[in-house]
A and B are shown apart, each in its own frame.
Chain A
Amino acid sequence: MSMTDVPAETTLDASAARPLRVDVWRRFKRNRLAMLGLVMIVLLVLVAVFADVIAPYGIAERSSSFREGPSSEHWFGTDTIGLDVFSRIVYGSRVSLKIGIAATSIALVLGLLLGAVAGFFGGIVDTLIMRLTDVFLSIPYIVLAVAIAAFFGKSENSVILVLGLTGWLGICRIVRASFLSLKQLEYVEAARALGFPRARIMFGHMLPNALQPIIVYGTIAVGSVVLSEAALSFLGVGPQYPTPAWGLMVADGKSSLSNAPHMLFFPSGAILLTVLSFVFVGDGLRDALDPKLK
């Protein structure tokens, strides 16, 4: 254990009892790409929170210029019906973040619960849950998206539902595998021997020990949900106009690629940077959380 930056006489101090978090942050800070990603995510969150202040125009506020390139009045230009691309991208960060976080949360809750139950109880419960994941794995999410969009309407919530319902499979498998090995450990047996209730053993004692890969997976998942959301919007089964979804803007822009490339360039760039940021941070966390990977 590294106590190098703690003077010997303070080793009994409670502040010395937080070495993991401190260590992780120290290793994370050393990773430039991860820090870059973290800064971009912070910026993205700030943009989403203060969108009203930052965006010069409303999301459906038309101007007299159509498909015009960047200018001092419209930083990222305007689109086919005269909307300000910059403003829509700024507001679009809310859509992307909301969908990314909500869908990942649904996936995490489902995956953690089902994975923990499958790994802890084993036997028939495990078999049932694993076959359920097999069934979900065999449904292409785009087909599910079209079905749900047809049923609940094309909206942000449909996209959240689709991506949440398809995103838990990986998490479930990771948690199950962790639980299968954790179950064999003596402190889990000790907890049973000392009469701890099952739910407490599963979620109080085993889950914290299984979280490391989940933190990494969850972070990267937010990025990939943003990407999937863009794909669904591009296909027209996501949120509809005037929602400023980035994927929708890309779809709009592709038809004007030859005369107004900025309409494609800026929203694609926003998607790219967002996804990359989450992947960088996820990778950084993976390295920082695993002291063996130096």
Chain B
Amino acid sequence: MPVSDVLLSVRDLHAGFATDDGHVAAVDGVSFDVHRGEVFSIVGESGSGKSVTAMTILGLIPTVEVSAGEIVWRGRDLLAVGEEERRKVRGGEIAMVFQDPLTALNPVHTVGRQIGEMARIHEGLNRKDAMVRAVEMLDLVGIPEPAQRARMYPHEFSGGMRQRAMIAMAIACKPDLLIADEPTTALDVTVQAQVLDVLIGIKDEIDSAIILITHDLGVVAGLADRVMVMYAGRQVEMGTVEEIFYESRHPYTLGLLASLPRLDDVGDEPLVPIKGSPPSLIHVPSGCAFHPRCRFAQIPGLCDSARPELRLVSGDAHLASCHYAETLEDVSIETLRSSADPDELLDTVSDP
């Protein structure tokens, strides 16, 4: 892990929404650092708070209430600065690549104009220089005949090309941090790989860091340097890719890994699901939020009474929030998958 300078430091972030049914704790005490040049991946199910975390960094959700925490970007707390300063950070220093390239480009402007607009806003380029920059950027993301393509409208682009155009737009001002929120979910599998290659290639080209938000563990394994796993708005585990995939110390992470089919499966291995479904963020279970679905939960006991702290479990930066993280040292995905009856492991679990 490159222990270079810290670009972004999120400290004990609490963010949520007020709804008619109560307060939704979408992000509940999340802390992490992103270092220059690394790919930091946030993984979790839908509703685990990974997108809200990213959007809160940029200040993009007007209805979100940040009740505590700090988001320190190069020494400045972004939660404390004014809207105009945040706007300048957005796009210029931290840029975002959106999920769905089919809807994230404005249909009435040419692609080149939209990419160039970034440079006009953040660097004050004139129309002509901005177009030159746009063509450069389209070339950088591997779009053939960039000069002609720049004059075309989004509807004349294919899905993969539009996502490349979105990336081109995000990197137009050479940001130090790119936030990619599930950048490939709207694309088909072959195009996904190409777009991810472009994204990683760009990172090296412009020397920026990437926060990659995804629920695709395959993508994470291939691209990320460090991984943060989220569940119910909380961090459950954080570490290098190797630590998360091979030495996982949290039952949720283990469960996720065990639920995936593998290339070396011969065909009759059952996939092991995580039983149940994610909790409502209005009524988060007591203690560890994962305990109602956990195979290893001690109930009644610590798991349903005390909220586990995120603590160092191995190495120098492998953190997990499980009371019994140490006992999981010998549990591998294989043992989980080979355990005769998944229900047997779950028989201590009572419904919340």
Contact = CB atoms under 8 A, between A and B. Distances in A.
A8 B301 CA distance: 70
A29 B204 CA distance: 53
Contacts of A143: none
A183 to B, nearest CB: 10
Interface stretch (A37-45, A187-195, A216-224): A187-195
A200 B120 CA distance: 12
B98 A190 contact: yes
8 contacts: A1-B156, A16-B152, A186-B103, A186-B104, A192-B60, A193-B91, A195-B92, A204-B117
Interface in A26-54: none
From DSSP, what is the main secondary structure of chain A's interface residues? helix
Interface string A1-35: 10000000001111011000000000000000000
A194 B108 contact: no
Interface in B45-96: 58, 60, 87-92, 95-96
Contact of B121 (A11, A187, A195): A195
B155 A1 contact: yes
A209 B108 contact: yes
Contacts of B87: 195, 197
Contact of A209 (B103, B107, B156, B169): B107
B110 interface: yes
B148 interface: yes
A204 B113 CA distance: 11
A190 B58 contact: no
Interface residues of A, number: 24
Given A1-B155, A12-B149, 15 more contacts: A11-B156, A12-B145, A12-B148, A14-B148, A16-B152, A186-B104, A187-B104, A187-B105, A187-B107, A189-B60, A191-B106, A193-B95, A193-B96, A194-B95, A194-B170
A185 interface: yes
B106 A196 contact: no
Interface in B109-162: 109-110, 117-118, 121-122, 145, 148-149, 151-153, 155-156
Nearest to A205: B106
Contact of B169 (A11, A13, A194, A208): A194
Contacts of A186: 98-100, 103-104
B241 to A, nearest CB: 27
B155 A190 contact: no
A73 B88 CA distance: 72
Contacts of B153: 17
A270 to B, nearest CB: 38
Contacts of B121: 195-197, 200
A158 to B, nearest CB: 38
B126 to A, nearest CB: 16
B166 interface: yes
A194 B117 CA distance: 10
Nearest to B89: A195
A208 B145 contact: no
Nearest to B86: A195
Contacts of A12: 145, 148-149
Interface string B31-45: 000000000000000
B151 A190 contact: no
Interface of A: 1, 11-14, 16-17, 185-187, 189-197, 200, 204-205, 208-209
Contacts of B152: 16-17
A205 B108 CA distance: 8
Interface residues of B, number: 36
A185 B156 CA distance: 19
Contacts of A209: 106-108
Name, among B92, B99, B104, the residue most crowded by chain A CB atoms within 10 Å (CB to CB). B104
A192 B106 CA distance: 12
B55 to A, nearest CB: 8
B90 A195 contact: yes
A86 to B, nearest CB: 46
Contacts of B108: 205, 208-209
Contacts of A190: 96, 98, 104-105, 166, 169
Contact of A187 (B88, B99, B103): B103
Contacts of A200: 117, 121
Contact of A194 (B91, B107, B110, B148): B91
A195 B169 contact: no
Given A185-B103, A186-B98, A17 B156 contact: yes
Contacts of A14: 148, 151
B349 to A, nearest CB: 39
A291 B156 CA distance: 17
A41 B306 CA distance: 78
Contacts of A204: 117
A177 to B, nearest CB: 18
A205 B156 contact: no
A38 to B, nearest CB: 24
B106 to A, nearest CB: 5
B117 A196 contact: yes
A184 to B, nearest CB: 10
A103 to B, nearest CB: 28
B96 A194 contact: yes
B110 A187 contact: no
Contacts of A11: 156
Contacts of B92: 195
Contacts of B166: 190
Nearest to B170: A194
Contacts of A17: 110, 151-153, 156
A16 B110 CA distance: 12
A17 B58 CA distance: 34
B115 to A, nearest CB: 10
B283 to A, nearest CB: 28
Contacts of B109: 205, 208
